[in-house]
Amino acid sequence: MRGVLLGPQQLRQSLGTAVELLGREGPVALITCGWQEREDQDEELSALFGRETRNLTLYARGEEVLAEDREFFNAHRARQDQLRQIQEFYRLRLERVFDAALDIDRKAQGSDIAADELRLSFEQIRRLDQEHLERVTALREAWELQMKPLERPSIARHRKALTALLRECRLLAISGGHVAVMLNRLRMFGLVELLTDQSLIAWSGGAMVTGGRVVLFHESPPEGVGISEVLDAGLQLHDGVLPLPNPKLRLKLDNAFRVGWMSRRHAPLQCVALDQGELVSFEDGRWFGAEGTVRLNPDGTLTTGWAS
């Protein structure tokens, strides 16, 4: 798949640039389910793309399925409750280990074992992330094996309609919004398996869900600990980059320790900060950062205008 990932807002110029880079004609298949009840308020996007769009209305379709299929609704709600609880327990473990890592780093500064202690802290946190990712993936796969969602009549009917809509489109666009809702609806209908040769344009939260893992991050939250947490595996539409939208609000890019920490924690993925108007493109496994788009480096520095 070829594609372009964008930062948040100021889409008027960015979307035009993305369409031009990809060079695909015809209507755009539009996913705005992250907006939930407002997903059909897409008139501005149609104008910004400068062409016809086909909104796949995944949020509304999901609500129809849950209302129609009571057995599926109950099983779905129970699974979501379990995932929320697992996320809470992972977050508690992560906060304790993160606090300990910061304390140890401060106390070990200047000693012969400082580098070793930092490496051990990284290994502990990376292990927590990986174990959590494996746990939620195993839970989802077991649930899908039991419920066989794509075979249920209420979902199969929508998949048939979605297949027809996607057949008309060479571009797939995924907007921002509620990340967990996006993942939920995209997986509910097995959307990735319905794609053929579409190119991808995704921005903000939409960019976050399209890769190998989804990471929630805010290093200066109004309350709580400012540590990123792995939510789930992503849609695997691309590999090699971890998009981090809205960095001026959510990241401490002027703090070399935090920059290096984020980069090393999620390696081998390259952490890329996507601010307003910034983008990265990918094709055949290669990545290209537009001028001004920032990549976080393990040594705490930032690189702009890069290619992989």
Q: Which pLDDT value is given to residue 89? A: 97
Contact 260, 295 (CB under 8 A): no
- What is the spatial distance between Cα 117 and Cα 101, in angstroms, rounded to a whole number? 8
Contact 194, 163 (CB under 8 A): yes
Please name the residue that has the structure tokens 């039991």.
146
Report the run of H or E that residue 30 belongs to, with start and end.
strand 28-31
Torsion (CA) 230, 234, 236, 240 in degrees, nearest 10: -30
- Please give the domain boundaries of the chain with CATH numbers for all domains: 3-304 (3.40.50.880)
- What is the spatial distance between Cα 180 and Cα 205, in angstroms, rounded to a whole number? 9
CA-based Rg of the chain, rounded to a whole angstrom?
Answer: 20
- Give 265's contacts (C-beta < 8 A, 6+ positions apart): 122, 125, 126, 129, 228
**Which ranges of the chain have pLDDT less than 70?**
9-13, 222-225
Q: Which pLDDT value is given to residue 9? A: 65
Long-range contacts, stretch 119-125, CB < 8 angstroms, 24+ apart: 121/97, 122/261, 122/264, 122/265, 124/97, 125/94, 125/97, 125/98, 125/101, 125/265
pLDDT tens sequence across 169-189:
999 999 999 999 999 999 999
pLDDT tens sequence across 97-121:
989 988 998 999 999 999 999 889 9
Contact 276, 294 (CB under 8 A): no
pTM of the predicted structure, to 2 decimals: 0.92
> How does DSSP classify residue 8?
S
Please name the residue that has the structure tokens 């199969």.
156
